[in-house]
Structure 1
């Protein structure tokens, strides 16, 4: 993956998560729910923030593949949020995205090289996101978490040493929850 620097046009509240969760977090809380990929330029902004703008097209077919991947990831994460592993339906959705690509190993002067090959260039970002999700699952499905704030719908990969992170961002969601608890305590 190339270096990732957030696109300054990216309005999302949580950036820098692993690619799979970064794609999932293109939807965030609001009334109605905010959706970066619903905006005309949102697809290109996401590709830029994800470090994929130079590798992936930002056309309609690529966006459709990305939306398919986001829905497959959302289905799998919903089941993780409920405390179980992704079921057969969620896995089938992930596999449907993965069927459009593969990793080809090659030898090079500096050692082995893995190259991702996809059926169509527009499927690369979607394939990479779902492949990243499989890597996160291998590291520990219990580390893929939904923010504990009731009004937040963002997900993050918990890299804390003890695995007890609860908030997507302590400065926002964590402080809101603490302030609400303090307010309730002061009222009584």
Structure 2
């Protein structure tokens, strides 16, 4: 394997994902939160990298959309994910990222399915985290067998960290979506159900109110 990122210094423990390391690591010197690209019009932004990749497909009144359907959308997603300066934006990279997205989607929908798990494992073989001890202390570098796999591999690794932290907090929106958006529930009580309370949550409340009104009227 060849390293396609410069060595990344900092402790790599269960609280630090490879994306954290790639973007500078958490702590007082961490980089600011990711800033979405101005042309990124997806309805849900800012989720952890793995779920943000899943959310590159979503529903619209005019039908399904796919941000990775073309080269421009791929570049927009890399920018929103904070990876534009680290990952290639070429056809091979887009194909690899789409393949990682398919594996993530299958695993998220069927987290106990052996075939889905095996598919993620196969793609994880494209990369590794190489630890080294240097005169200035521990360092780590992400290594992939092909630079096209860096973004997808980081997303797969991020998903593993989410599973290790709190798998029950990985949720898909309970709204009536053909392509539900995914989110990591950081609410205090862990009871979030909607990608957006202002949209899906309010629609669900309105639907419940209407059903109750219909039942009352029928009595």
Q: Same fold (TM over 0.5)?
A: yes
Paired residues of 2:56 and 2:66 also in contact (CA < 8 A) = yes
Matching of residue 145 in structure 1 with residue 132 in structure 2: no
Q: Residues of 2 paired with 1:115 and 1:180: CA distance?
A: 51
How big is each residue's C-alpha offset from its partner over 1:41-77, in whole Å with a ceiling of 9 and x where there is no partner?
1100000000000000110000110011000000001
Moved segments of 4+, more than 6 Å:
none
- Please name the residue that 1:129 is paired with: 155
Matched, 1:161 2:191: no
Corresponding position of 2:91: 60
Cα deviation, 1:109-160, whole Å, max 9, x if unaligned, reads 5542221100111110000000000001101211111111122610111112
1:77–1:86: 8 Å Cα contact kept in structure 2?
no
Q: Which of 31, 52, 57 is the matching residue for 1:22?
A: 52
- Contact 2:71–2:94 (CA<8 Å) still a contact in 1? no
Query: For the Cα contact (< 8 Å) 1:5–1:49, is it kept in 2?
Result: yes
Q: CA deviation at 1:105?
A: 0.7
Residues 111 and 163 of structure 1: is their aligned pair in 2 closer, same or farther, counting only changes over 3 Å?
Answer: farther
Instruction: Provide the secondary structure at the position in 2 that maps to 1:41.
Output: helix
Residues 72 and 93, structure 1, Cα contact 8 Å, conserved in 2: yes
Find the residue that maps to 2:140 and give its secondary structure: strand
Secondary structure of 1:163's counterpart equals coil
| Aligned alpha-carbon RMSD (Å) | 1.5
> Structure 1: any 5+ residue segments left out of the alignment?
80-84
Measured at CA, do residues 107 and 27 of structure 1 come closer, stay the same or move farther in structure 2, by a change above 3 Å?
same
Tell which has more relative contact order, 1 or 2 (C-alpha 8 A, sep 6+).
2
Give SS of 2:63's match: coil
State the partner residue of 2:81: 50
- The answer to whether the aligner puts 1:173 opposite 2:203 as a matched pair is no
What residue in structure 1 maps to residue 70 of structure 2? 39
Q: 1:82 aligns to what?
A: none
| Distance in 1 (alpha carbons) for counterparts of 2:172 and 2:134 | 41
| Structure 2 stretches lacking a partner, 5+ long | 1-18, 24-30
State the Cα distance separating 1:168 from its structure 2 match: 1.0
The 5 Å alignment of 1:84-123 reads 85-108=111-134, 111-123=137-149
Give me the whole-angstrom Cα distance separating, in 2, the residues matched to 1:121 and 1:150.
38
State the partner residue of 1:72: 103
